[in-house]
Structure 1
């Protein structure tokens, strides 16, 4: 799933566009910590990926985690699940053994046994800014009752900015105004109640600690440098998404917002501007670590 392009939030094209940048940005330290936690547990390691989309989280994690692994991918979009299953058909774990893969087409509510039963690790990427506080707290409580670990990656922290060729932050009054409108748009109901938006990392960390977890956190921003062609398509999609969200939030300001979009897209095309987008990864491990299932 994704939190940046409102009109294409769950399309395969957008998920594919961001996948490589997600891979570069994620915390390898937290991945290593959860791999160690799983390695200390006997038997098959069950993992559920919530809002799995086209399977990017599976592709990143499976080769970096110990086996044997049994994955369940959960998403509301059947077409994305077909793509995820096709892409994951030959995927192997850290020891080179084929992972077992199942898909489940359903909504993420309610938080029930059908969603969480039989797994050690609950994973989600680019999801939690879309969900409500109540849903997030219910999920953490349900995982704590089952002594399951949670690995929540690439939750936006609300900050994004343009950078010049030297990497210095450029913030105009127009940028700040669009950012305020975008953050307000993020809080709209995405199907699970009023969305957390930029509050997601802080809300999750508090809920995890309150449930008795040991919580580790890492900043995982996207860095799309000025003048680097490989990141230009993603940066362009970001600007288009911020513009679309801001215009939905403030239709009367369409002319001013369109002018902002044109200038920022021109800067990207000329190689004069880059973009950074703030994210955080969170890992919650049961404390003390669970010794069995």
Structure 2
């Protein structure tokens, strides 16, 4: 019931929270929507950007060289340095719950149903010790504890958890979302251009599904290719698709869920080599997307980019990062 409650709150939040603002381009601030549109119209037909658009898909694996859990609920921790674990349940219960608590003390719950395939679960708390608990569903809201173990994690790169697919941002090299992202960013000249292109593609090709939002079930997981094929989705579908398309272009993207003021809210933060992390670059409020306005300023010729944000970031409180 808790997950159904927060998904509905997220999908039905007030749409007036923030006004649409224009995303800055490659190293300089763009003047506005009208000028950006005019610049795009002025581009020669068929001309492609200087940024490579071929996909880069990080593929999670389960070699099972290091495992935790039981015979029926297996957690493969062989690749924790890449920012994920792989989990599989082969028992007779209708579902199990894996809870992962990282060094940031945030507990993440992931649900699995019986099957032979492994599911990738992200380690978004950074380096440190993770506690991994396994629970098997008995009846109603009752679960039996199957195991409680720990794993020490040292990430090869702090960006990797936000490049790999996972249960919430699920895609493969053959996904429609991956090929679509390549086509969408063909004219991009830098990562920020690519972010803008993907943003525009999603809002132009996906419509918000009010009926689906009203009837969403607990433990709902997005299907990025279904969202593209149907052209409809709820907040979670928008966020998952956008993150999948960004990650497939080797652009780290965090799907973050929390509060903006007293509104339950979601946003996507993006990393580029030019800027570092840009927090809340793409934001979901109600049934629409809006972009923050990161203004780029370089003081005294320094190469470090300083980000200034519209609004007070202290009003934001992140609960979960996917």
Bin of the TM-score, shorter chain as denominator length: under 0.3
Give the structure with the larger helix fraction: 1
Give the structure with the larger strand fraction: 2
TM-score, length basis structure 2:
0.25
